[in-house]
Amino acid sequence: MLPSMVSLKKNIILTGFSGTGKTAVGAIVAQILGWKFVDTDNYISRLTGKTILKIFSEDGENEFRELERKALLTICSRENQVIATGGGAVLEHSNQELLLTKGLVVTLEARAETILVRLNAQEQRNYEERRPLLGTGDKLNRIRELKAKRQIHYDASDTVIHTDLLTAEQTAAGVINAWKSFAIKTNKLDGFGDSIAAIVEHEAGAYPVKVEWGLLGRLGESLINFGIEGPVYIISDDQVFHLYGRKIQRVLHDAGIEAHSFIFKAGEQSKTLATAESIYKWLIERRAERNHAILAVGGGVAGDLGGFVAATFLRGIPFIQVPTSMAAMVDASIGGKVAVNVPEGKNMIGSFYQPKMVLADPETLSTLDNRCLSEGWAEAIKHGFIRDQNLVEIFEYNAEALGSLDPDISTAVIRRSIQIKADVVSNDEKEKLGIRILLNYGHTVGHALEVASSYGKYLHGEGVSIGMMAAAEISCKMGMIHKDVVGRQEHILRQFNLPTVARQVNLSTLTRAMELDKKTEKGSVRWVLLREVGHAVSTRDVPKAVVNEVLSLITDNS
């Protein structure tokens, strides 16, 4: 959206296919905000004295679209409204342009099967609510056809909320969060411009995730714009600091920010209480104060370790994530999970502690070797499979460009993946609603593989890749997805040179590590499985025999 148009957005506008909940959700949002609620279909019906069904049957779709266009012009001339549009309103370019100018446009999304169930229920309550364009034949296929034609228009909104697993109240909370994010971005963060990929909402406030090629050279400016003047304490590993540490110190110095650096040995093996204790002593020696900030620079280890120290030193000091690995950018740096490992399990000692901001420069990925770059893409591919089938297609058809880190498409995909993660954690910060757990697709087996190999054999993303294959195979054996989906996922992962089978892993050690996983409760593993591409669910109802069969399938001890 053009900056000049931002200030004109005085409404919240809900779009999406029929049955995604626009009317019910809009009424709740309007009540919470104390705004007026307008349903465009009801507005047109009152204006003409006819039901929408009758307008279509007597006057035709073209006449209805003209009425809809005029109604939107009138409605959008006012402010402080929650507007629920008809499912086809965004098909007209002038309508879409108007909506994006006059309001924050939120698309409510749902699977075709969910939509059919909801529409059938509405029709049973009131026959006049029958949708004229669905006809009386195979409604499910008709929904799929219409939705596919309209999807590109729905995707052009400011944000998307998937409503399949949400109540109207939960969806309304997501809309409110989106509005808060928009208000924060426009009112407080104008200096960041279009480089903000997402804003993460949490119970104590919100923070921006900024993504921009070459951002590292303007790090000092970004911190000062956000009110951070130093001193700052850089926590980084010896490999990342060798590449970027001095540059960051120079950039911060030029901006007038005092910076100190603690360097630890690269690798998951350093993410321990012992390393954290060394950092505590180092901070005390430098007389660090509660209003100073930690700058976690590097991959997921630096972010987890630096965040853990920030959460616990002086009962909490500010910290900023500066991710330099793919996995850290699209996943680990967002959401406030900070932790250290113990021999019995990964991330067993930790907390939820949100950063003040995340500053991601995709250009830093150009120094990664092919293996590290590939393992990072695993987390972004995961986001597509659990939440966005369009993102899956981008990976499917652009593997070469992404593998070579083409600046434009890589930055765009990183931004989209970040938006998915930010949306999920904003709606379920501490995994109380069962939404955030979906981000653990592939992690049950993935984390167990890391533990079983003492964090030395598999990189995190490689473990996740194998774990995704295990989860997909279980989904297939449980009758949730077709074998073709398993094959499609395997093909994409292999395109990015990611492993799909674990080599020379002791099954009993792997099983034991899974039982110690944080998601295990009363001996029952909470699995994240696929219903379809772009739609994941969680369950504990996976027979042990199925798990054992799949573990044998995805391990190779030859």
In a domain, residue 393? The reply is no
3-state secondary structure 257-300: CCEEEEEECCCHHHCCHHHHHHHHHHHHHCCCCCCCEEEEEECH
- Interacting residues of 239 by C-beta distance below 8 A, sequence separation 6+: 266
Nearest-angstrom CA–CA distance, 390 and 397: 11
- Identify whether the C-beta of residue 99 lies closer than 8 Å to the C-beta of residue 15: yes
Q: Are residues 154 and 278 located together in one domain of the fold?
A: no
Would you state the pLDDT for residue 454? 73
Would you state the pLDDT for residue 188? 46
Q: Are residues 36 and 53 located together in one domain of the fold?
A: yes
Q: Are residues 495 and 545 located together in one domain of the fold?
A: yes
Number of Cβ within 10 Å of residue 284's Cβ equals 11
Would you state the pLDDT for residue 192? 45
Count of domains observed in the chain: 3
Nearest-angstrom CA–CA distance, 94 and 96: 5
- Structural domain range at position 512: 421-556
Task: Supply the DSSP string of 359-401, one letter for each residue.
Answer: EE-GGGGGGS-HHHHHHHHHHHHHHHHHH-HHHHHHHHH-HHH
pLDDT digits (tens, 9 = 90+) for 44-56: 999 999 888 888 8
Query: Of 492, 489, 494, nearest to 468 (Cα)?
Result: 489
Q: Are residues 111 and 235 located together in one domain of the fold?
A: no
- Interacting residues of 396 by C-beta distance below 8 A, sequence separation 6+: 488, 491, 492, 495
In a domain, residue 391? The reply is no
Task: Supply the DSSP string of 73-97, one letter for each residue.
Answer: HHHTTS-SEEEEPPTTGGGSHHHHH
Reading the block at residue 371, the tokens are 């293996």
Q: For each successive 10 residues of the chain (558 residues), what is the average pLDDT?
A: 42 92 94 93 92 86 90 91 91 87 91 88 66 67 84 85 92 88 58 69 84 93 87 97 93 96 95 97 97 95 97 96 94 93 88 94 94 93 94 93 92 92 87 87 91 81 95 96 97 96 84 72 79 92 92 78
pLDDT digits (tens, 9 = 90+) for 513-549: 887 765 555 557 889 999 999 999 999 889 999 999 9
Q: Are residues 78 and 212 located together in one domain of the fold?
A: no
In a domain, residue 73? The reply is yes
Would you state the pLDDT for residue 7? 39
- Identify whether the C-beta of residue 233 lies closer than 8 Å to the C-beta of residue 314: no
In a domain, residue 461? The reply is yes
- Interacting residues of 376 by C-beta distance below 8 A, sequence separation 6+: 325, 326, 327, 328, 329, 330, 365, 368, 461
In a domain, residue 206? The reply is yes
Q: In the sheet that 159-162 helps form, which strands lie side by side, from edge to edge? A: 36-39, 81-84, 11-15, 103-109, 159-162
Q: Are residues 178 and 199 located together in one domain of the fold?
A: no
Would you state the pLDDT for residue 121? 82
Rounded (10°) CA dihedral 460, 461, 467, 473 = -170
Q: Are residues 145 and 85 located together in one domain of the fold?
A: yes
Reading the block at residue 484, the tokens are 């073709």
Q: Are residues 136 and 252 located together in one domain of the fold?
A: no
Q: Are residues 200 and 75 located together in one domain of the fold?
A: no
In a domain, residue 377? The reply is no
- Identify whether the C-beta of residue 38 lies closer than 8 Å to the C-beta of residue 14: no
Would you state the pLDDT for residue 138? 78
* Amino acid letter for position 164: D
CATH number at 273 reads: 3.40.50.1970
Nearest-angstrom CA–CA distance, 163 and 110: 6
Nearest-angstrom CA–CA distance, 536 and 387: 7
- Identify whether the C-beta of residue 407 lies closer than 8 Å to the C-beta of residue 362: yes
The count of C-alpha atoms lying within 13 angstroms of the C-alpha of 27, restricted to the half-sphere facing its C-beta, is 6
Would you state the pLDDT for residue 184? 61
Q: Which of 349, 368, 387 is the last residue of a domain?
A: 368
In a domain, residue 397? The reply is no
Give the CA radius of gyration of the chain: 25
Q: Is residue 168 classed as helix, strand or coil in its secondary structure?
A: helix
CATH number at 473 reads: 1.20.1090.10
Q: Are residues 109 and 210 located together in one domain of the fold?
A: no
182's enclosing H/E stretch is: helix 168-188
Nearest-angstrom CA–CA distance, 196 and 523: 42
3-state SS of the chain: helix, strand, coil percent to 5?
55, 20, 25
Q: Which of 188, 219, 244 is the last residue of a domain?
A: 188
Query: Of 213, 269, 273, 214, nearest to 238 (Cα)?
Result: 269
Q: Which of 368, 387, 404 is the last residue of a domain?
A: 368
**Eight-class DSSP state of 510:** H
Nearest-angstrom CA–CA distance, 14 and 186: 20
Question: The tokens 């999406």 sit on which residue?
Answer: 16
Question: The tokens 């194998």 sit on which residue?
Answer: 466
Query: Of 137, 154, 35, 174, nearest to 86 (Cα)?
Result: 154
Phi, psi (deg, nearest 5) at residue 320? -120, 135
Active site amino acids: 315, 337, 379, 421, 431, 436, 440, 443, 447, 460
In a domain, residue 395? The reply is no
Nearest-angstrom CA–CA distance, 521 and 515: 9
Q: Are residues 267 and 323 located together in one domain of the fold?
A: yes
Nearest-angstrom CA–CA distance, 84 and 176: 15
Q: Are residues 169 and 230 located together in one domain of the fold?
A: no
